[in-house]
Amino acid sequence: DGGITQSPKYLFRKEGQNVTLSCEQNLNHDAMYWYRQDPGQGLRLIYYSQIVNDFQKGDIAEGYSVSREKKESFPLTVTSAQKNPTAFYLCASKRAARDQPQHFGDGTRLSIL
């Protein structure tokens, strides 16, 4: 079955540590996205990529980095510069056309040790 796989499901970060969240899709979608969700809040866009080897900052990119070396993969690194990383992270993908639905992975819950 086609879909989006995020791993790990739960992740713990120590102070000063960088961690990388994985996102893989086999839907052959061109565009991929990372969102952050905090309790009682909507989803906020961190980064997006419309094509391989290109990505753009979203609304809250500070403290995060991404890469898009392959069409099916869009990993997110939460750096030590992100002072409040505890959140639910969701990866999504969609076809290239503007008004296509986004398909979401099951998310990664990141906590600070």
Partner 1 sequence: QQPVQSPQAVILREGEDAVINCSSSKALYSVHWYRQKHGEAPVFLMILLKGGEQKGHEKISASFNEKKQQSSLYLTASQLSYSGTYFCGTPPPGGADGLTFGKGTHLIIQP
- Say if CB 16 and CB 70 are below 8 A apart: no
Distance (Å, whole) CA 35 – CA 46? 5
Which of 49, 56, 46 shows the shortest CA–CA distance to 88? 46
In the complex with partner 1, the residue whose CB is nearer, 5 or 17, is 5
Which residues, numbered 22-51, are part of the site for partner 1 (CB under 8 A)?
Answer: 31, 33, 35, 40-45, 48, 50
Size of the site for partner 1 (CB under 8 A): 24
Give the binding range for partner 1 (CB under 8 A) out of 17-25, 56-64, 71-79. Answer: 56-64
Instruction: Say whether residue 61 binds partner 1 (CB under 8 A).
Output: no
Q: Binding to partner 1 by residue 16, rule CB under 8 A?
A: no
Tokens of 44: 């906020």
Establish if 106 lies at the interface with partner 1 (CB under 8 A). yes
Query: Least distance (Å) from partner 1 to the CB of residue 47?
Result: 9
**Would you tell me which residues interact with partner 1 (CB under 8 A)?**
31, 33, 35, 40-45, 48, 50, 56, 58-59, 90, 98-99, 101-107
